[in-house]
Structure 1
């Protein structure tokens, strides 16, 4: 089983954090988004993971590439770095990993996480991960027949046709067939109104030629597109993994209360604090005289006399003050 993860986008809705770190490497409960995604896919797949292709912008840099290769290794796969410097849509992005489009294949866009209770049935031609949503008009949706086979793909329907939204994760029994259809779009210059080559057009062509797609329905779909969504996803993940060991053994704690679930990384100091619930704290962070709830604090922070919630602090941030809702990028000082 190969996995292809397009992640070359700049994540503009999560700025200022994505000015210094690609969005898929933002931490959720102590691990990068993309690592959570790969681990969740591995749980759904019974097959051994072979190659995991990360499609990135070339200017992400060596440190990012090394991190991605370690993530692949952590789930037993071989990491492959692929580059997409020009952005021409989802179909174009996937083709940047053309050497991996072989045999059983999962394509997963790295801005979404999920909770699922099913096991991937690799005997199916194709599986499209979906979830029921309250407002289908904001999403691409699928329509099913009585045999639970997908009959239609509809992009942002104005009238109700289905409430099963496509979440951006796909299984293909034949990566070669997907490769052929993606190349067909490029070779024949079949673009959408924005001038981009889209995966959904290839899926429709495959369906017309006999590929039977079925839904893989997830129990929860978690978005990491902006600050509020990312904070909420961090909260939900802490709830998922609350029975795991989440606090490092070397925590230095003085006159402080931790209200679980909370993630605390290595070499963290707490003094005169109330932390939690739903807080993630990165390594080498010092927090004193503070009350913090429902927030993500990245690494090497220095926080004093603070009272906040529903917030994200970047790496190497110095902060003092009170707020209910903010987002501070790396290397900033606010006092």
Structure 2
């Protein structure tokens, strides 16, 4: 009778811990966490998981099988979820990618994603995009072979492998397209620069000819552009560093629409923007913008003392090599 009672208790326990196949169970333990919430989302899904009193995260929810993005308040990680998974994640938010570990159902697939994310972070894509037309296809092929070889010896679900390979091929196609566009821009180097003659925030108009004999570091931006605004602190530091250097001038060209002209003036004043602040005449359709084939901002450009294009896609103010780039020119 005692054995029967113990068996009955065991069965009850199993029934309470059994994972619903119509849901995924997700749990996380995070050291040095950035927030008391985790956001799991895709284009058609958004789930907020709140930490309990002990700081642990746990929830169950239904999903469509596929890739999701996890956000901890500061950084992102890629997840693969499907109903029936009982997935446990642990990490140290101060190290994030380097510390993510998954256990439970779906662990193999998600540990693979974490491994590839770390490799992606270390890979020199910037250097790859600077390769010659002959070198780039070879480097791209090597990158493809390296990634596909990562599947060997891994116990991964077929659906996951197929989905990952599809996403990877799309990203490689995107990288090829981006390289093609950047190559067009690079071929502008050495040519005579398109000119400008735009309204100056301080009054009147300012043209490129006004800066003959100087290097011109141009920032093409807009008040509505988040990445542009993110570069402002670094740009201010850069301008301050070279303050008093007569060989270089910093010019910011806003491509805000005409209806936002007053917004631009207020932004320049409120943010105390330095350098030469100009307002392009036809936003994206301005001759200077079209001449540099700009289809995304911010774009930084270096023009030489004779009006030649030194770098049609120069390093951003926040880039590690920007000071070295400018110092080399001013020697």
Bigger-Rg structure (1/2): 2
Using structure 1 for the length normalisation, give the TM-score.
0.27
Using structure 2 for the length normalisation, give the TM-score.
0.28
**Highest relative contact order (Cα 8 Å, sep 6+), 1 or 2?**
1
Higher percent of residues as strand: 1
Higher percent of residues as helix: 2
